[in-house]
Amino acid sequence: MHWRCGNRVLDLTRPVVMGILNVTPDSFSDGGRYVRPEVALERAAALAAEGAHIIDVGGESTRPGALGVGEAEELDRVLPVIERIARTLDIAISIDTSKPAVMAAATAAGACAVNDINALRAPGARAWAASAGVGVCLMHMQGEPRTMQHNPVYADVVTEVCDFLVRERASCIAAGIADDAIALDPGVGFGKGLEHNMTLLNGLSRLAALGSPLLVGVSRKSFIGRILGRETHERLYGGLGLAALAVSLGARVIRTHDVRPTRDAIDMVSAVLQGLRS
């Protein structure tokens, strides 16, 4: 299996790590730490050195309750960072955005993939992605970040998420996006309560069976804190357990703040499941 992202092809024979680089003042875990481009570049270099295969740059917080930012402000945050990373590091870059103009500008600056919590449903997003030839990740979310945790309701969360992702993938392919350029994300923690998240994680094998690369992001999320009684900065081990579980159930991309320990965890799981390379 592979994920075609512009002029790069990510080999997913073994699972890979997507390192999170938030250049926002209000992200739930690391808001404000990497807003200066030179500091963000240092962080990107550290993520690459720790074993990240792709760096996901985001300029708008999508934490529960987050308010949106304008297009110009988002561009001001992400473009200087992407330009510096592209000039300095030989690594794939994704842009975490739902705005087509930001997607286009970020790709021109050096990004090769779009990670969109809105599954490319903004007007013009799919036509642009098809013409640009970028990799895309389609995520499921019930509602929007500002209100998504206000009493989310599902009859069967795994089936509903599968149906949504299959439908949106088909629409993207119909718009001209290559099948092997599409990854799928069940959106753990996005418009889902605690039991929904647990059920969804337990059902990841059904999502993996859809045939596209499955991306899972659980790093430092609040439901880990609820189960373990841990603050945000104390959720590493819970996140590693979930990353290992996700890979064992078929996930091929793990999105995380903590690259080195996550890489170690999923490499060990992969070695057991697939056998050590000679």
- Cα(98)–Cα(62) distance, integer angstroms: 11
Catalytic, out of 220, 252, 255, 263: 255
What are the Cα distances from residue 154, in Å, to 6, 52, 132, 164? 36, 34, 35, 13
78 near 57, Cβ under 8 Å? yes
Cite the beta strand spans of 86-206 per DSSP E.
92-96, 113-116, 135-139, 182-185
Given 84, 221, 252, 263, which residue is catalytic? 221
Put residue 142 in one of left, alpha, beta given phi > 0 → left and psi -120 to 50 → alpha. Answer: beta
For the question of residue 220 being annotated catalytic, the response is no
Active site residue 99: no
The answer to whether 39 touches 31, Cβ cutoff 8 Å, is: no
Gap between the Cα atoms of 244 and 263, Å rounded: 10
What positions carry a catalytic annotation? 221, 255
